[in-house]
């Protein structure tokens, strides 16, 4: 499982916030740091995530995303508003869904659509309610802001 570390401004010498996360991927799996620019999208358009297609918003924000090469979403990222999100896998006894959004898709969608952590919580909750969350091996995702 992954580890996430956050140090808020009151815990650093210069008042900066630090966010760090490891990614428990396969040893030779490529991970990419990708810049995704701000974009405007046509009305009623869709976006294809890792396994499913969802409704697109009118405009998406610029972000940097750290991602496995084969996944649309990402392990962690930060957007032009300073919103930073990381994905963590957790074990669950809940039923496994074969279709839906991956936790990494939710990270990217929230970074593209939200300016604050509060907005991101509402966005992710809405997306899971509408499209479901795909999982495998009894793993669920938790999101860290």
Report if residue 84 sits inside a domain. Answer: yes
- ∠ CA 70-72-76, rounded to 5°: 100
Q: Please report the pLDDT score of residue 143 as a whole number.
A: 58
Mean pLDDT, 10 residues at a time, the chain of 145 residues: 86 93 82 96 96 96 94 95 89 75 95 97 96 68 57
Query: How many domains does the chain contain in total?
Result: 1
2 noted as active-site residue: yes
Report if residue 83 sits inside a domain. Answer: yes
Q: Please report the pLDDT score of residue 139 as a whole number.
A: 47
Report if residue 21 sits inside a domain. Answer: no
Q: Please report the pLDDT score of residue 134 as a whole number.
A: 84
Report if residue 58 sits inside a domain. Answer: yes
Catalytic residue among 2, 49, 114, 123: 2
Q: Please report the pLDDT score of residue 7 as a whole number.
A: 93
Please state the pTM of the whole predicted model.
Answer: 0.88
Report if residue 76 sits inside a domain. Answer: yes
Its domain, for residue 56, covers: 27-144
Q: Please report the pLDDT score of residue 138 as a whole number.
A: 47
| Contact call for residues 60 and 41 (beta carbons, < 8 A) | yes
User: What's 4-55 look like in SS3?
Assistant: EEEECHHHCCCCCCEEEECCCCCCCCCEEEEEECCEECCCCCEEECCCCEEE
Report if residue 62 sits inside a domain. Answer: yes
Report if residue 7 sits inside a domain. Answer: no
Report if residue 45 sits inside a domain. Answer: yes
């Amino acid at each position: 499982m992954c580890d996430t570390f956050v140090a808020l401004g009151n815990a650093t010498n210069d008042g900066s916030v630090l966010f760090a996360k490891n990614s428990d991927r396969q040893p030779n799996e490529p991970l990419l740091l990708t810049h995704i620019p701000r974009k405007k999208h046509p009305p009623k358009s869709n976006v294809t995530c890792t396994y499913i297609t969802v409704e697109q918003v009118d405009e998406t924000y610029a972000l940097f995303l750290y991602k496995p090469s084969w996944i649309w979403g990402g392990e962690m990222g930060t957007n032009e508003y300073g919103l930073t999100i990381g994905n963590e896998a957790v074990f669950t006894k809940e039923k496994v869904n074969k279709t839906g959004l991956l936790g990494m898709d939710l990270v990217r969608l929230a970074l593209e659509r939200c300016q604050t952590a509060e907005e991101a919580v509402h966005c992710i909750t809405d997306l899971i309610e509408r499209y479901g969350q795909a999982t495998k091996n009894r793993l669920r995702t938790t999101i860290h802001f």
